[in-house]
Amino acid sequence: MLKEAVFHRAMSPFVYKYDDKTIHVRLQTKKNDVDHVDLIWGDPYDWHTENPDDADWNFDPSKSNYWNTFETPMKRSGSDELFDYWFIDVVPPFRRLRYGFRLHDGHSSQVFTERGWFDEKPLDDTGYYFCVPFLNKVDVFHAPDWVKDTVWYQIFPDRFANGDSTNDPAGTLPWNSTAPTTTNLFGGDFQGVIDKIDYLVDLGITGIYFCPIFEAKSNHKYDTIDYLEIDPQFGTKEKFKEMVDLLHANGIRIMLDAVFNHAGFHHKAFADIREHGSNSSYRDWFHLRNFPLVTEPMPNYDTFAFVPEMPKFNTENPEVKEYLLHVARYWVEEFGIDGWRLDVANEVDHAFWRDFRSVVKEADPETYILGEIWHDSQEWLLGDQFDAVMNYPFTNAALNFFALDKTSASTYANDMSHVLFSNTVNVNEVSFNLIGSHDTPRALTRAGNDKNKMRLLLLSMLTFSGSPVIYYGDEIGLDGDQDPGCRKCMPWNPEEQDLNLLMYTKHLLQLRKQHRTLANHGQISFVHADDETNTIVMRRMSQDGTYYVYFNNSNHQATIPAPQSGQGMDLFSNTPLPSLEVTLAPYTGTIIQVI
């Protein structure tokens, strides 16, 4: 047993409060090094004695008492390239927990505690053991339950549909008349979304994430001028409210993009600084190094990514904080939006986000708070800041295997397992899973315009734990390179749409809704990963049943052995199967329900 590889610390994601009764515990060991693990656990005040006079929860060598413990087997819940991960959920009867681990390697067993290793479990003092002092309900990570059953649809507002030409800005081009650039406009607006409500409902999505809609100079609107005003090219506040109400009436939530890391060059505060210099009353709203302000060759003030048009807010300034928190509350209270997506969230201070969460959840406790973070996000996901982040580790693993052929089947399984074990189950259930966005090349383009690979990408995302998002047009085969190529107009002529891909996407969404185990109501594990055939089998299992998702990511037909005995139902063809052995054509997949 390689003790150096064994890891646990009494903090998330290795131990955490899942709900007001349940604690989840995880342990990491070297891959294939440990046969089984038992959790040693008990209440720190529950001590055994034969003599009632010795009853005491403090160890006294003169008394015949010792700590009462249980030993419960843990489950090997998955593996990545280097480690196995063990899991158990515990319901401590009095909400207090002390715990350790007994590890077996086939030859011997060792006890692992917070104070190190022992041949046998020490029972003279609970201080040896890891501790969850008390399960306080207020400390449980809570994200809105509705997110677990939501499939999002991301809309870049200028490019989805032009429903009202009267609000088109000067220079607006005919719809889809040319390739997108960083400056051209096509007139997409709220009326366009209203006009396409039947399409959205028929597709089966239940949430829309809008890129910025507030007044700004650019076509992407990430350079905000006024956070309290709608950009007139999209419509009025009245039209926005009409759209929100219509979406809600059709069971569709709405999430807006909040750019609180930086303002636009023409925001009133920064404009005042440009005019009055060091005498401006807004000089402390931004991170300015000296005066006068210069933009070349590099700004002498902090910005997003050295972009002069995007000066970075000083969110530690009380006036800035008050201003932005008012914005956060305003759109929730006045228009009933259901979520905020937070742009460049990792560059804003944690204290601001804690206050942001308090304000937003006070306005509506069921508001979804999503951070844009591309790396390990654990410090934002402890329950005091965000509900979730954009799950780019998922994105990279899916694209590298299915689209780019950069990784093997076993690496894909390891990568996805690592994604799951990097966060708590509560977080995984609401993670914003994506295969492309306005910031990346289109998924179809990454897949070399191979529609079969695109189907595999959609299958992987829409059967995985989390809250998945479809970037507008992916469902009908829209392609495009890195920004601005990934921001094409949505083609509404059916002859320009891949209707077979559209039907496939709709079917997946229907299956995810009908079989909730495929979403967030079932455990997830990889039970088959064959590098020779480049095939994968993912198991989704709950009290409602067991499902297997099969992938053949190769250019040849593959027969995948049955992961268990029994019969199945192919949910794509609605065909009963005598066994769970499946033969798949090249670059195809399916979902089998065990019957």
Residue numbers annotated as active site: 343, 372
As beta bridge partners, residue 568 has 577, 594
The angle at the Cα of 321, spanning 316 to 324, to the nearest 5 degrees, equals: 140
> What is the token pair recorded at 31?
């891959």
Q: How far apart (Å, rounded) are the C-alpha atoms in residues 280 and 72?
A: 65
Residue 547: which of 576, 567, 517, 520 has the closest Cα?
Answer: 517
Residue 430: which of 401, 394, 396 has the closest Cα?
Answer: 394
Which distant-in-sequence residues (6+ apart) come within 8 Å of 9 by Cβ?
Answer: none
Residue 156: which of 433, 480, 546, 592 has the closest Cα?
Answer: 480
Q: How far is CA 594 from the centre of its chain?
A: 28
Q: How far apart (Å, rounded) are the C-alpha atoms in residues 341 and 343?
A: 6
Write the CA distances from 545 to 117, 272, 466, 540, integer angstroms: 40, 62, 19, 8
Per-residue b or e along 522-550, where b marks 16 or more CB atoms closer than 10 Å to that residue's CB: bbbbbebbbeebbbbbbbbbeeeebbbbb
User: Is residue 60 exposed (0-12), middle (13-18) or buried (19+ Cβ within 10 Å)?
Assistant: exposed
Q: Is the dihedral of CA 117, 119, 121, 125 positive or negative?
A: negative
Write the CA distances from 378 to 131, 165, 296, 361, 397, integer angstroms: 20, 45, 37, 20, 19
Which distant-in-sequence residues (6+ apart) come within 8 Å of 275 by Cβ?
Answer: none
Q: How far apart (Å, rounded) are the C-alpha atoms in residues 344 and 353?
A: 12
Which amino acid is present at 326? H
Residue 141: which of 433, 388, 466, 421 has the closest Cα?
Answer: 388
What number of CA atoms fall less than 13 Å from residue 584's CA on the CB side?
30
User: What DSSP string runs through 236-248?
Assistant: -HHHHHHHHHHHH
